[in-house]
């Protein structure tokens, strides 16, 4: 079959649940292009774009950047790639994000991986990351957890109802978690 099957896989999970770490392994193993919404937004701050100051303030507060800003960055990244397999990491964060993405991109993820981890473990992981992120402090982490529960979990439930959600136990080592992720991709027959 010469047709190219295109795939969009999303990841969800609270701060420090291991989305970025597992995405790196998925990219390596299954040839996806990794689009981290958080990374794209942090790059906007660094490039001193017109929205940089607003994005910095929003991330410091643990809030969600307006949908049209994030979707535009994702759209640019998708359109500039010739890969047909995209891993949309840490997006959509809210119902508003989800609806904006569907409207502008005209697609929704085929599969969403939800990394499920107890809060105390998320906090421990984020606090020990030590990469100088402006949001890796206990005050912002508490706000990120609150935003995750109130705005992100409804989106997770939406994908669950559509039969697209794979809930992954995100405790244990990086390799143990990837052993839970791998069979999901194997079953997609890529
Ligand atoms: N680590 C990973 N796996 C481990 C394991 N199994 N055992 C022990 N340690 C493990 O992991 C976090 C840390 O834990 C790392 O040091 C790692 O080495 C270690 P990581 O893989 O980075 O977890 P991740 O889930 O990616 O955590 P992250 O903090 O990146 O999640 P957030 O969702 O908070 O961050 P994101 O970058 O997605 O968003 C940041 C902010 O940007 C948001 O709060 C929001 O303000 C804004 N944003 C938007 O507004 N809109 C968006 O669409 C996206 C982001
Ligand atoms: Mg991340």
CA distance 7 to 110: 7
pLDDT (0 to 100) of residue 115: 98
Encode pLDDT of 44-80 as tens digits: 999 989 999 999 999 999 999 999 999 999 999 999 9
Nearest CA to ligand 1 atom 12: 16
Query: Tokens at residue 138, please?
Result: 């206990």
Interface pTM (ipTM) of the complex?
Answer: 0.99
Cβ of 85 below 6 Å from ligand 1: no
Residue-wise pLDDT for 71-119, tens only, equals 999 999 999 999 999 999 999 999 999 999 999 999 999 999 999 999 9
Average model confidence (pLDDT) for the chain?
96
Say if ligand 1 is within 6 A of residue 114 CB. no
Q: Is 53 exposed, middle or buried (0-12, 13-18, 19+ CB in 10 A)?
A: exposed
Q: Is the pLDDT of residue 189 over 80?
A: no
Q: Which residues pair with 9 in a beta bridge?
A: 87, 111
């Amino acid at each position: 079959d010469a047709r190219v099957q295109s795939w969009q896989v999303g990841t969800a999970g609270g701060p420090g649940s291991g989305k970025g770490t597992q995405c790196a392994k998925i990219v390596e193993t299954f040839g996806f292009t990794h689009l981290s919404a958080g990374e794209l937004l942090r790059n906007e701050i660094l490039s001193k774009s017109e929205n940089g100051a607003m994005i910095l303030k929003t991330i410091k507060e643990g809030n969600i950047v307006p949908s049209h800003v994030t979707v535009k960055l994702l759209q640019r990244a998708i359109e500039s790639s010739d890969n047909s397999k995209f891993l949309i990491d840490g997006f959509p964060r809210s119902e508003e994000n989800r609806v904006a993405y569907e409207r502008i991109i005209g697609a929704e993820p085929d599969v969403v991986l939800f990394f499920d981890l107890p809060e105390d473990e998320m906090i421990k992981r984020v606090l020990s990351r030590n990469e100088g992120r402006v949001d890796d402090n206990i005050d912002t982490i508490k706000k990120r957890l609150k935003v995750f529960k109130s705005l992100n979990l409804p989106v997770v439930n939406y994908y669950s109802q559509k039969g697209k959600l794979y809930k992954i136990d995100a405790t244990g080592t990086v390799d143990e978690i990837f052993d839970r992720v791998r069979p999901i991709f194997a079953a997609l027959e890529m």
